[in-house]
Structure 1
Amino acid sequence: MEITTIATGSKGNAYRISDGRTALLIELGIPYKKLQQALQYKTSDITACLVTHSHQDHAKGIKGALDNGMTVYATQGEIEAIGITHHRLKAIEVGKPTQIGTWKVIAFDVQHDTPEPVGYLIMSEQGEKLLFITDTYYVKQRFPAVDYIMMECNYCESVLDENLESGRIHKSLYKRVMKSHFSLENVIKFLKANDLSQLKEIHLLHLSDSNSNEQMIYEAVARATGKQVIIA
């Protein structure tokens, strides 16, 4: 499986995956022109895009993608929040497998401050499984025998606490981050609660510029799992 990070973080998110037969995008949080530039204008092989929720850093480029012939999937609640009506913008149902090219996709609910946010379990015909999770502080589901995990690790609790104490972050934002994003500590708890026996790579996404510590995150997750860790 090929995994490419195009953009990650609060300024925009976009990721490309391919099983060698079907290429998908996950998230369209950058303008479509920037997406084209990042992919050297090789977008015709992309079968579809999966969007997790309607915030602009995940959905900004949807209109441009639709206008250029790309099919986009999101839940009905997030489609309504995005506010675009288009025949290529399709609703995906939580828990219902959807076939997209050679991939089978299952959306599952997550905890975020939008109407119907989701993560995705994405399975190739070759049997490999990719788990994609972002913008949530908790995931109740457990996932056996996945091969790749792409998940948010937005902040470190110690760094966030220091920023609150020093006044670098307002208490209201502090509370929002705690209730809408994955901390390093919860990432480790989630990983330990799942079957990692087949896991090949952990891709950590959406690190906060001010509330995280990349080296701390890398070392903590690698030590806790014994797996290859890639900071996007």
Structure 2
Amino acid sequence: MLNYTGSLIGQIETARKLPTLEFSERADAALETGGALSRLVELVMRSQLPAWFRQVAELEARAVEICTFQTHMIHGLLQTDPYVRAVLGVLDQNNLDDRTAVRLARQRIFEKEEPPVFWMVLSEAALYQEVGGRETMRGQLAHLLSFEQNPRINIQILPFSAGAHAGLQGSFNLYRFASDPTIVYTEGYGSGHPTANPDTVKDCSLRYDHLQAAALSLKDSAELIRRVMEERYGEPGDSVA
């Protein structure tokens, strides 16, 4: 009835493998649950995140606006499947399919009836950091360009020519809510640091304003992404020059 093997179903039933949304929808139809399993997928995925990151996923899910500055890598909410695999698989290939699915599931916040407004100021360096190879990077940059006409997902590139800037201390996120205080989030190796400290929030908000001012416009940012995609990563299947 599900068109899945008994072995796979058994692994999902015993929590050795994560259910995909498609699997859950088919199981709902077969078991006539009224969509109960599909509604639980997001919770299941979030429970598989590292314990220190679960609070951040909850912040992402509740925020009305997310502002992020990234120094060397595309933010997880805009990463493609191959890019995620390349990032997560650097030192650990174990359960890579499930870990990739868990990260990609966070992107479902953009499918909500009222999705958050997302701003990303991205260092130009991240366009040249060849994560996963040329085809992966071409697909990732094409994915960024797919949001050009989406007013809720905005991408600005901080060019090398900006020189010294307000984000030299590293990447950070700002989460803004309808009625709760703004949260600043920074990350280290294997740990995350969310804070609502008013002085930290004020400082990082000012820094973000200056980063946006120093960054290229949305239109010029898209043009730079397109140029790097074509000139550095070429057409699919091209040989390396």
Q: TM-score, normalised by structure 1?
A: 0.26
Give the structure with the higher percent helix. 2
Answer 1 or 2: higher relative contact order, Cα 8 Å, separation at least 6: 2
Give the structure with the higher percent strand. 1
**CA radius of gyration, larger in:** 2
